[in-house]
Amino acid sequence: EVQLVESGGGLVQPGGSLRLSCVASGFTFSTYSMNWVRQAPGKGLEWVSYITLSGSTTYYADSVQGRFTISRDNAKNSLYLQMNSLRAEDTAVYYCARESYVGGWIDPWGQGTLVIVSS
C-alpha cells in the first residue's frame, strides 16, 4: 500500500522557519516526482512546489518563491519542505503528494500536517 506520512507542522511566529518532512512507503520513491500542496483553513487547494525524481529540477508557486525550498533524500524515501520567512497567510494544512507516473495529476496524497503562523 502506498503511504505518505507528513510531519513537522506546528505553531510558528511570523518571520520564523519550519521544516516539513514526508516519508514515503509502498512504492519506489526514487522513480516518482513529488509535490507539496496546501489548504488554508476552510479554503481550497493551492499547489506549492514540485521536485523531479532526482531533485535536479524544482518549481514553486509565486506565493512561496524565494522563501520555501523543496528537497528530497531518495536514500531515506523522504521529501522535505523548508519554509522560511513565514507569514500568516502560509497557515494551512500541507499535503505531500505523489506526481503521477505519466506526469500532471497528483495521486496519492498524505494526510497532511498543519502549520499555523501566528504571534
Instruction: Please pick, from the candidates 85, 100, 101, 118, the single residue that binds another protein as defined by CB under 8 A.
Output: 100
Q: Tell which positions 28-57 bind another protein, by CB under 8 A.
A: 35, 44-47, 50
106 scored as a contact of another protein (CB under 8 A): yes
Longest dimension (CA), the chain: 42
- What whole-number distance in Å separates Cα of residue 94 and Cα of residue 47? 10
Query: How many residues in the shown chain lie near another protein by CB under 8 A?
Result: 22
Smallest distance from the beta carbon of 92 to another protein, in angstroms?
13
Q: Which three cell numbers stand for residue 99?
A: 506526481
104 scored as a contact of another protein (CB under 8 A): yes
* 48: Cα separation from own chain's centroid: 7
Q: Tell which positions 1-20 bind another protein, by CB under 8 A.
A: none
Q: Are 2 and 109 in contact (CB under 8 A)?
A: no
23 scored as a contact of another protein (CB under 8 A): no
Residue 31, CA distances (Å) to 17, 77, 80, 101 in order: 29, 11, 16, 8
Residue found by looking up cell 535536479 in the block: 56
Instruction: Please pick, from the candidates 32, 55, 108, 114, the single residue that binds another protein as defined by CB under 8 A.
Output: 108
List interacting residues with another protein (CB under 8 A). Answer: 35, 44-47, 50, 59-62, 95, 100, 103-112
